[in-house]
Every structure is written in structure tokens, then in C-alpha cells.
Structure 1
Amino acid sequence: MSIRILRISAVVLSLFSATAPVVARDADDLTVAEERTAPQPSAVPCEGGLQLTAPQGAPLTFHIFSITGQLVKSATLSEEIVRIELPRGCYVVKCGRWSKKVMVQ
């Protein structure tokens, strides 16, 4: 039994000795990278519908789906902000690769 305990402790010791050392760096080594992202479209619930916002630039097409997957409305925005009237419910709004789930009350 004592030989088995010695073997287990030797295995455990070898596992801990195989870890990489942790090295602290100076504060001078820290760098900050600034990443700029393109403005994203947005869909915000408002009373009786949605407020769709498109970043300035080319017109964007928004597709609004019911929670069951049926296309409810499509809108191509050439203006920056448009209000779309919708009945109460849960919707998925897609614009290109962007999508968002919203609840209209």
C-alpha cells in the first residue's frame, strides 16, 4: 500500500513540475490596440412597432420575420431612421448578416 502511495505522489509531483513558469511583465510591455468597427443597423421596439436605423451610406434592406419564420415585412431604408408599424409580438429582424430578436408591445 505504501508503494502505491509513493507511485501516486510521484505521478502528481511530475504533473506539477511540468507546468510552464509564470512570468510577470513590466507595465511598459502593455499595448492597447484600437479596433474600429463599422456602424451596425439597429431595430428598437417602440409603441406599436419598430424603429429601424441604418448607418449612413448605401440603402439597406431589412427583413422582419414572425417568431414562426414567416416574412412579415421587408423595407429598404434610404433614410437613416424609419418607423415600421407592427402588431404586438416577437419578431426577428435581419439585415444582411446582422440579426436581432425584438418584442413589440
Structure 2
Amino acid sequence: MLTIRLRRVGTTKKPHYRVVVIESSVARDGRFVEIVGHYDPCVDPELFHVKPERVAYWVSKGARLSDTVRTLLVRNSAENAATEAAEQLASPVEKLGDSDGDKSQVST
């Protein structure tokens, strides 16, 4: 069975992880099928990047997500949704501010 999980790379006490599709019976750092992302917990904020279309593809083929990868995906999608929502809220405010400025100049 295929699993999407973390593979440790990096140096001693400075871990960096690759998100890989791997057979579940293979060792953590063993032969993998595909690299679908990476995770760096040592930077602030944590860097987590995946190829969502490849993750979706492998999940559709029956691959399971490890608990850690699932948690990171949920956290990352929540942060992306919050960022997008903030950008959408900021855009109309700027447009309203511009149009209000035009109306104040026209007043008598």
C-alpha cells in the first residue's frame, strides 16, 4: 500500500523533510515513488509546500496520508484560506475608499 509521508533529509539537528509517496513497508529513508513536496520546520514561519494536484492524484490511486502530513495539509489549507479571505476583504475596502474620495470632491 502506498503512503504519503515525510522523509528526513538535512543535517544533524537541522531537519528538513521531503513529502514523498512511498510503499508503506519501506524504511523512512528508503526508495520512494515520487517527491510531492517539502517541509522545513526550522524557519519561522514553518515552510510547507506540496503539489496539490499530485497529492490528489495519489490519494485517488489509493495512497494514504500519514498523520503528520494530514495535519500539515489541514494547517496549511487553513492558513491559505485565511490569507485569501483577508485579501478579498481588503480589496473591496480599497475600492470603496477610492470611490468615497471621488464623491467628497464633488460635494458643494
TM-score range relative to shorter protein: under 0.3
Bigger radius of gyration among the two: 1
Q: Which structure shows the bigger proportion of residues in strand conformation? A: 1
Given the two structures, how large is their TM-score scaled by the length of structure 1?
A: 0.24
Q: Which structure shows the bigger proportion of residues in helix conformation? A: 2
